[in-house]
Amino acid sequence: MAGRTGTGRVNERFAFDLEAAGGGLVGGADEAGRGCLAGPLVAAAVSFDYGRLDDDDFAALDLLDDSKRLSAAGREALCREVVKRARQVVVVCCAAATIDRDGLHACNLRALTRAVERLAPAPAVVLVDGFPLPACSRPHRAVVGGDGRSAAVAAASVVAKVVRDRLMRALHERFPQYGFARHVGYATPEHHAAIAAHGLCDQHRRSFASVAYQQLALGLGDGGGPAGGEVGRGGREAAGGAGGNVTGGGPSAP
């Protein structure tokens, strides 16, 4: 654990990162929205300089965990702390139309790769939740269940989830009939009922079997709305404001 300051206890997730990279600059990457019927996929990469974090930083970030285990309020609070204390935060958004065009897994890999490669300076290693990134030029390591094992991956998980939820709440203003603010695009009974009543809008992923099946079986038409490429335009702002350590991705990127 060379390089860290202070004398306070380092929890197991920070210890995992320190062991993986030997201290210094460590990155983590994760995504949110992979399994949704609507809205973007959001990838985030976060780097921490463990040589500069002090006891106050470790205490503020101590509750970092898989975003799915945290309350919405807890995620928002931790996201603010991550943006404040991380060396850098990068967010890349991939719109529903791009997912339909290129495929979910390809978009997932590309978004994570671009987020990781935009970390500057490059961390000694970037820990990626779940699977390796074949096209990534940066040193990285896939960690199964990484959002529950690594503080950097957990931080990326929290940022990706918070940014995506904020974007879905913004989409709710355009498409209130779907209830995006409540289910954020997941396949809930409310969402299925809204599709049955209103058809699909341009933020739905038409390539997803469950959506296509409902549309065909029920003979539904399309919903209206502006072009899907607009989603994600507020990625930088959604990540926490104008902080210099936050980098946003493009609307239909990657």
Q: Which of 43-52, 87-96, 129-138, 200-209 has the lowest mean pLDDT?
A: 200-209
- Strand-pairing partners, residue 247, are 90
Q: pLDDT for 180-230, tens place per residue?
A: 999 999 999 999 999 999 999 999 999 875 555 455 455 443 333 322 332
- Segment 159-181 shows an average pLDDT of 97
Q: For the chain, what are the domain ranges?
A: 1-236
Q: Which of 27-31, 50-54, 249-253 has the lowest mean pLDDT?
A: 249-253
Q: CA–CA separation, 251 vs 229, rounded Å? A: 6
Q: Which two tokens stand for residue 90?
A: 């990068």
**Cβ distance 231 to 39 under 8 Å?**
yes
Q: CA–CA separation, 119 vs 139, rounded Å? A: 12
Q: Which residue has the higher pLDDT, 206 or 29?
A: 29
Residue 19: exposure state from Cβ atoms within 10 A (0-12, 13-18, ≥19): exposed
Q: pLDDT for 142-156, tens place per residue?
A: 999 999 999 999 999
Closest of 251, 252, 254, 239 to residue 86, by C-alpha: 239
Q: Which two tokens stand for residue 227?
A: 């072009």
Give the type of residue at 73: A
Cβ neighbours around 134 below 10 Å, total: 7
Closest of 193, 124, 130 to residue 156, by C-alpha: 130
Cβ neighbours around 130 below 10 Å, total: 17
- Segment 99-122 shows an average pLDDT of 97
1-236 folds as Nucleotidyltransferase; domain 5 (3.30.420)
104 Cβ neighbours under 8 A, 6+ residues apart: 34, 41, 205, 207
Residue whose structure tokens are 């992979």: 34
**Cβ distance 143 to 28 under 8 Å?**
no
